[in-house]
Amino acid sequence: MSLLRALTSSPLDVDELRGTEEDSEADSHPDTPASRVVTLAIAILLGLAVAVAVTNLRADAVSEDSPRAALEQEVRDSREHAVGLEQRQEELQSEISALQEDVLQSSDSAAAARLSTYETATASTALSGPGVVLQVEDSAPLPASPGVAEGTVNRATDEDLQIAVNGLWAAGAEAIAVNGQRISASSAIRTAGSAVLVDLRPISPPYRIVALGDGAAIEQAVQGEATGEYLSEISSRFGIVLSWETSEDLSVPARAPAALREASSTPPGEAGADASPTDPDTDPGATDKETTP
Protein backbone atom coordinates (compact mmCIF):
# COMPACT_ATOMS: atom_id res chain seq x y z
CA MET A 1 0.00 0.00 0.00
CA SER A 2 2.94 2.42 0.67
CA LEU A 3 4.01 1.93 -2.94
CA LEU A 4 0.56 2.93 -4.18
CA ARG A 5 0.60 6.05 -1.99
CA ALA A 6 4.02 6.95 -3.35
CA LEU A 7 2.74 6.62 -6.91
CA THR A 8 -0.06 9.08 -6.23
CA SER A 9 1.85 11.56 -4.06
CA SER A 10 5.40 11.57 -5.40
CA PRO A 11 5.97 9.49 -8.56
CA LEU A 12 9.66 10.44 -8.74
CA ASP A 13 10.47 8.69 -5.45
CA VAL A 14 9.00 5.28 -6.42
CA ASP A 15 12.33 3.60 -7.27
CA GLU A 16 13.89 4.75 -4.05
CA LEU A 17 10.90 3.46 -2.00
CA ARG A 18 10.92 0.08 -3.81
CA GLY A 19 14.58 -0.40 -3.00
CA THR A 20 13.93 0.40 0.66
CA GLU A 21 11.11 -2.22 0.87
CA GLU A 22 13.24 -4.92 -0.77
CA ASP A 23 16.07 -4.25 1.68
CA SER A 24 13.69 -4.49 4.62
CA GLU A 25 12.29 -7.83 3.36
CA ALA A 26 15.80 -9.21 2.88
CA ASP A 27 16.72 -8.14 6.41
CA SER A 28 13.58 -9.71 7.88
CA HIS A 29 14.33 -13.20 6.34
CA PRO A 30 18.06 -13.75 6.48
CA ASP A 31 19.26 -16.95 4.68
CA THR A 32 21.95 -18.31 7.00
CA PRO A 33 23.53 -21.81 7.26
CA ALA A 34 21.76 -22.33 10.57
CA SER A 35 18.34 -21.66 9.02
CA ARG A 36 19.10 -24.09 6.22
CA VAL A 37 20.03 -26.81 8.72
CA VAL A 38 16.83 -26.22 10.67
CA THR A 39 14.75 -26.37 7.47
CA LEU A 40 16.44 -29.61 6.41
CA ALA A 41 15.89 -31.16 9.84
CA ILE A 42 12.21 -30.24 9.78
CA ALA A 43 11.82 -31.74 6.29
CA ILE A 44 13.51 -34.98 7.40
CA LEU A 45 11.29 -35.24 10.46
CA LEU A 46 8.16 -34.69 8.38
CA GLY A 47 9.29 -37.35 5.90
CA LEU A 48 9.93 -39.84 8.69
CA ALA A 49 6.54 -39.12 10.20
CA VAL A 50 4.79 -39.73 6.87
CA ALA A 51 6.76 -42.96 6.31
CA VAL A 52 5.87 -44.27 9.76
CA ALA A 53 2.21 -43.42 9.26
CA VAL A 54 2.08 -45.22 5.89
CA THR A 55 3.84 -48.28 7.35
CA ASN A 56 1.39 -48.43 10.22
CA LEU A 57 -1.57 -48.18 7.85
CA ARG A 58 -0.25 -51.02 5.71
CA ALA A 59 0.43 -53.13 8.76
CA ASP A 60 -3.12 -52.56 9.94
CA ALA A 61 -4.46 -53.51 6.50
CA VAL A 62 -2.68 -56.90 6.49
CA SER A 63 -2.79 -57.66 10.18
CA GLU A 64 -4.50 -60.84 11.31
CA ASP A 65 -7.12 -58.82 13.16
CA SER A 66 -8.19 -56.77 10.13
CA PRO A 67 -11.62 -57.45 8.56
CA ARG A 68 -10.03 -58.35 5.23
CA ALA A 69 -7.78 -60.97 6.79
CA ALA A 70 -10.74 -62.40 8.67
CA LEU A 71 -12.78 -62.68 5.48
CA GLU A 72 -9.91 -64.31 3.60
CA GLN A 73 -9.50 -66.85 6.39
CA GLU A 74 -13.23 -67.53 6.36
CA VAL A 75 -13.13 -68.19 2.61
CA ARG A 76 -10.19 -70.58 3.02
CA ASP A 77 -11.95 -72.42 5.84
CA SER A 78 -15.13 -72.71 3.77
CA ARG A 79 -13.22 -74.14 0.82
CA GLU A 80 -11.45 -76.68 3.01
CA HIS A 81 -14.78 -77.66 4.55
CA ALA A 82 -16.35 -78.07 1.10
CA VAL A 83 -13.46 -80.27 -0.06
CA GLY A 84 -13.84 -82.40 3.06
CA LEU A 85 -17.58 -82.79 2.45
CA GLU A 86 -16.97 -83.82 -1.17
CA GLN A 87 -14.45 -86.44 -0.10
CA ARG A 88 -16.86 -87.76 2.52
CA GLN A 89 -19.63 -87.88 -0.07
CA GLU A 90 -17.44 -89.95 -2.39
CA GLU A 91 -16.61 -92.35 0.43
CA LEU A 92 -20.27 -92.80 1.35
CA GLN A 93 -21.27 -93.25 -2.28
CA SER A 94 -18.62 -95.95 -2.68
CA GLU A 95 -19.96 -97.73 0.40
CA ILE A 96 -23.52 -97.52 -0.92
CA SER A 97 -22.48 -98.90 -4.31
CA ALA A 98 -20.61 -101.78 -2.67
CA LEU A 99 -23.61 -102.66 -0.49
CA GLN A 100 -25.96 -102.52 -3.48
CA GLU A 101 -23.70 -104.81 -5.46
CA ASP A 102 -23.42 -107.31 -2.59
CA VAL A 103 -27.19 -107.46 -2.18
CA LEU A 104 -27.89 -107.81 -5.89
CA GLN A 105 -25.16 -110.39 -6.47
CA SER A 106 -26.62 -112.56 -3.75
CA SER A 107 -30.22 -112.23 -4.93
CA ASP A 108 -30.30 -111.27 -8.63
CA SER A 109 -27.12 -111.33 -10.70
CA ALA A 110 -28.95 -110.07 -13.80
CA ALA A 111 -30.13 -107.00 -11.89
CA ALA A 112 -26.56 -106.44 -10.69
CA ALA A 113 -25.32 -106.48 -14.28
CA ARG A 114 -28.00 -104.00 -15.34
CA LEU A 115 -27.17 -101.74 -12.41
CA SER A 116 -23.50 -101.74 -13.40
CA THR A 117 -24.48 -100.79 -16.96
CA TYR A 118 -26.68 -97.96 -15.74
CA GLU A 119 -24.02 -96.65 -13.37
CA THR A 120 -21.47 -96.55 -16.18
CA ALA A 121 -23.88 -94.78 -18.54
CA THR A 122 -24.86 -92.19 -15.94
CA ALA A 123 -21.27 -91.62 -14.75
CA SER A 124 -22.26 -92.48 -11.20
CA THR A 125 -19.36 -94.86 -10.63
CA ALA A 126 -15.61 -94.27 -10.84
CA LEU A 127 -13.76 -96.03 -13.66
CA SER A 128 -10.14 -96.75 -14.49
CA GLY A 129 -8.21 -98.27 -17.35
CA PRO A 130 -6.28 -97.34 -20.50
CA GLY A 131 -7.02 -94.19 -22.41
CA VAL A 132 -5.68 -90.88 -23.66
CA VAL A 133 -5.19 -87.43 -22.15
CA LEU A 134 -5.76 -84.29 -24.23
CA GLN A 135 -4.36 -81.20 -22.52
CA VAL A 136 -5.54 -77.76 -23.65
CA GLU A 137 -3.68 -74.63 -22.48
CA ASP A 138 -3.87 -70.90 -23.09
CA SER A 139 -1.39 -69.47 -25.54
CA ALA A 140 1.96 -68.08 -24.45
CA PRO A 141 2.25 -64.25 -24.48
CA LEU A 142 2.25 -63.29 -28.15
CA PRO A 143 4.70 -60.88 -29.81
CA ALA A 144 3.43 -57.64 -31.28
CA SER A 145 1.85 -57.96 -34.72
CA PRO A 146 -0.76 -56.09 -36.80
CA GLY A 147 -3.91 -56.02 -34.69
CA VAL A 148 -2.30 -57.83 -31.74
CA ALA A 149 -0.69 -56.03 -28.81
CA GLU A 150 2.53 -57.41 -27.41
CA GLY A 151 1.95 -59.81 -24.53
CA THR A 152 -1.60 -60.75 -25.57
CA VAL A 153 -2.69 -64.18 -24.28
CA ASN A 154 -5.41 -66.07 -26.16
CA ARG A 155 -7.59 -68.07 -23.77
CA ALA A 156 -8.99 -71.54 -24.36
CA THR A 157 -12.77 -71.17 -24.22
CA ASP A 158 -15.69 -73.30 -23.12
CA GLU A 159 -16.53 -73.84 -26.79
CA ASP A 160 -13.06 -75.29 -27.41
CA LEU A 161 -13.59 -77.76 -24.56
CA GLN A 162 -17.11 -78.63 -25.74
CA ILE A 163 -15.87 -79.46 -29.22
CA ALA A 164 -12.95 -81.49 -27.86
CA VAL A 165 -15.18 -83.49 -25.48
CA ASN A 166 -17.81 -84.20 -28.14
CA GLY A 167 -15.05 -85.27 -30.53
CA LEU A 168 -13.70 -87.71 -27.94
CA TRP A 169 -17.18 -89.19 -27.42
CA ALA A 170 -17.58 -89.60 -31.18
CA ALA A 171 -14.16 -91.27 -31.37
CA GLY A 172 -15.24 -94.02 -28.97
CA ALA A 173 -14.35 -92.77 -25.50
CA GLU A 174 -16.06 -94.80 -22.78
CA ALA A 175 -15.78 -92.18 -20.02
CA ILE A 176 -14.46 -88.61 -19.86
CA ALA A 177 -13.42 -86.21 -17.12
CA VAL A 178 -12.23 -82.60 -17.43
CA ASN A 179 -9.91 -81.45 -14.65
CA GLY A 180 -11.31 -84.16 -12.43
CA GLN A 181 -14.97 -83.35 -13.20
CA ARG A 182 -16.81 -86.33 -14.68
CA ILE A 183 -18.73 -85.67 -17.89
CA SER A 184 -22.12 -87.30 -18.40
CA ALA A 185 -25.06 -86.91 -20.76
CA SER A 186 -26.42 -84.04 -18.66
CA SER A 187 -23.12 -82.21 -18.11
CA ALA A 188 -22.70 -78.62 -19.25
CA ILE A 189 -19.48 -76.78 -20.02
CA ARG A 190 -20.11 -73.03 -19.76
CA THR A 191 -18.36 -69.71 -19.26
CA ALA A 192 -19.12 -67.25 -16.47
CA GLY A 193 -17.10 -64.10 -16.96
CA SER A 194 -13.54 -65.28 -17.53
CA ALA A 195 -14.04 -68.62 -15.74
CA VAL A 196 -14.86 -71.93 -17.40
CA LEU A 197 -17.42 -74.03 -15.51
CA VAL A 198 -18.12 -77.75 -15.66
CA ASP A 199 -21.50 -78.44 -14.07
CA LEU A 200 -21.26 -75.03 -12.36
CA ARG A 201 -17.85 -75.84 -10.87
CA PRO A 202 -15.01 -73.54 -11.97
CA ILE A 203 -11.92 -75.07 -13.52
CA SER A 204 -8.69 -73.37 -14.55
CA PRO A 205 -6.08 -74.01 -17.24
CA PRO A 206 -4.37 -76.17 -18.20
CA TYR A 207 -7.48 -78.18 -19.02
CA ARG A 208 -6.76 -81.92 -18.72
CA ILE A 209 -9.31 -84.03 -20.57
CA VAL A 210 -9.07 -87.74 -19.67
CA ALA A 211 -10.82 -90.19 -22.01
CA LEU A 212 -10.92 -93.91 -21.21
CA GLY A 213 -10.78 -96.46 -24.01
CA ASP A 214 -8.31 -97.38 -26.73
CA GLY A 215 -6.10 -94.30 -26.42
CA ALA A 216 -4.25 -94.60 -29.73
CA ALA A 217 -7.45 -95.30 -31.67
CA ILE A 218 -9.28 -92.41 -30.01
CA GLU A 219 -6.48 -89.95 -30.77
CA GLN A 220 -6.25 -91.13 -34.38
CA ALA A 221 -10.01 -90.86 -34.86
CA VAL A 222 -10.15 -87.34 -33.42
CA GLN A 223 -7.22 -86.15 -35.53
CA GLY A 224 -8.87 -87.46 -38.69
CA GLU A 225 -12.25 -85.81 -38.15
CA ALA A 226 -13.61 -82.24 -38.00
CA THR A 227 -12.68 -82.00 -34.33
CA GLY A 228 -9.02 -82.53 -35.20
CA GLU A 229 -9.19 -79.82 -37.86
CA TYR A 230 -10.73 -77.40 -35.38
CA LEU A 231 -8.07 -78.12 -32.76
CA SER A 232 -5.31 -77.67 -35.33
CA GLU A 233 -6.80 -74.33 -36.40
CA ILE A 234 -7.00 -72.84 -32.89
CA SER A 235 -3.45 -74.03 -32.29
CA SER A 236 -2.00 -72.49 -35.46
CA ARG A 237 -4.08 -69.29 -35.52
CA PHE A 238 -4.38 -68.44 -31.84
CA GLY A 239 -1.46 -70.26 -30.26
CA ILE A 240 -3.60 -72.55 -28.07
CA VAL A 241 -1.27 -75.26 -26.76
CA LEU A 242 -2.44 -78.85 -27.32
CA SER A 243 -0.79 -82.10 -26.28
CA TRP A 244 -1.78 -85.78 -26.44
CA GLU A 245 -0.61 -88.57 -24.16
CA THR A 246 -1.75 -92.20 -24.10
CA SER A 247 -1.60 -94.22 -20.90
CA GLU A 248 -2.52 -97.67 -19.65
CA ASP A 249 -3.47 -96.44 -16.19
CA LEU A 250 -5.98 -93.60 -16.10
CA SER A 251 -8.98 -93.01 -13.89
CA VAL A 252 -12.06 -90.82 -13.83
CA PRO A 253 -14.10 -90.09 -10.68
CA ALA A 254 -17.78 -90.72 -10.22
CA ARG A 255 -20.12 -87.84 -10.81
CA ALA A 256 -22.12 -86.56 -7.87
CA PRO A 257 -25.37 -88.54 -7.73
CA ALA A 258 -28.36 -86.81 -9.26
CA ALA A 259 -31.58 -86.29 -7.36
CA LEU A 260 -34.08 -89.13 -7.84
CA ARG A 261 -37.12 -87.69 -9.62
CA GLU A 262 -39.16 -90.80 -10.47
CA ALA A 263 -39.07 -94.51 -9.65
CA SER A 264 -41.37 -97.48 -10.11
CA SER A 265 -41.24 -101.15 -9.23
CA THR A 266 -40.94 -103.78 -11.95
CA PRO A 267 -42.72 -107.10 -11.54
CA PRO A 268 -40.31 -110.06 -11.39
CA GLY A 269 -39.42 -111.44 -14.79
CA GLU A 270 -40.49 -108.38 -16.80
CA ALA A 271 -37.15 -106.55 -16.70
CA GLY A 272 -35.08 -108.08 -19.46
CA ALA A 273 -31.35 -108.42 -19.13
CA ASP A 274 -30.95 -106.54 -22.40
CA ALA A 275 -32.45 -103.36 -20.97
CA SER A 276 -30.35 -100.34 -21.87
CA PRO A 277 -29.90 -96.97 -20.20
CA THR A 278 -32.04 -94.08 -21.29
CA ASP A 279 -30.62 -92.54 -24.43
CA PRO A 280 -30.85 -88.72 -24.31
CA ASP A 281 -31.13 -88.72 -28.11
CA THR A 282 -34.30 -90.86 -28.11
CA ASP A 283 -35.91 -90.24 -24.73
CA PRO A 284 -38.67 -87.63 -25.18
CA GLY A 285 -38.03 -86.38 -21.65
CA ALA A 286 -34.35 -85.76 -22.26
CA THR A 287 -33.11 -82.27 -23.06
CA ASP A 288 -30.42 -81.14 -25.46
CA LYS A 289 -27.02 -81.01 -23.83
CA GLU A 290 -23.71 -79.63 -24.86
CA THR A 291 -21.73 -82.82 -24.21
CA THR A 292 -23.40 -86.09 -25.18
CA PRO A 293 -21.59 -89.42 -25.06
212: domain CATH number is 3.30.70.1880
**Residue 155 phi, psi (nearest 5):** -95, 140
User: Which domain covers residue 213, as residue numbers?
Assistant: 129-253+280-293
Number of domains in the chain: 1
pLDDT band of 164, cuts 50, 70, 90 = very high
Handedness of CA 216, 245, 83, 198 (dihedral sign): negative
Work out the average pLDDT over 39-57.
Answer: 84
pLDDT of residue 282 exceeding 50: no
CB 225, CB 167: distance < 8 Å: yes
pLDDT of residue 157 exceeding 70: yes
The model's pTM: 0.58
Indicate whether 262 belongs to any domain: no
pLDDT band of 278, cuts 50, 70, 90 = very low
Q: How far is CA 217 from the centre of its chain?
A: 31
Indicate whether 121 belongs to any domain: no
Indicate whether 159 belongs to any domain: yes
**Measured distance CA(179)–CA(187) in Å, rounded:** 14
CB 75, CB 83: distance < 8 Å: no
Work out the average pLDDT over 122-138.
Answer: 89
Indicate whether 10 belongs to any domain: no
Peptide bond into 206 cis (omega under 30): yes
Indicate whether 158 belongs to any domain: yes
Name the burial class of residue 49, with classes exposed (0-12), middle (13-18) and buried (19+) by CB atoms within 10 angstroms of its CB.
exposed
Indicate whether 247 belongs to any domain: yes
Return the higher-pLDDT residue of 133 and 31.
133
Indicate whether 140 belongs to any domain: yes
Indicate whether 178 belongs to any domain: yes
Work out the average pLDDT over 115-121.
Answer: 74
Return the higher-pLDDT residue of 267 and 164.
164
**Measured distance CA(252)–CA(126) in Å, rounded:** 6
pLDDT for residue 286:
37
pLDDT band of 137, cuts 50, 70, 90 = very high
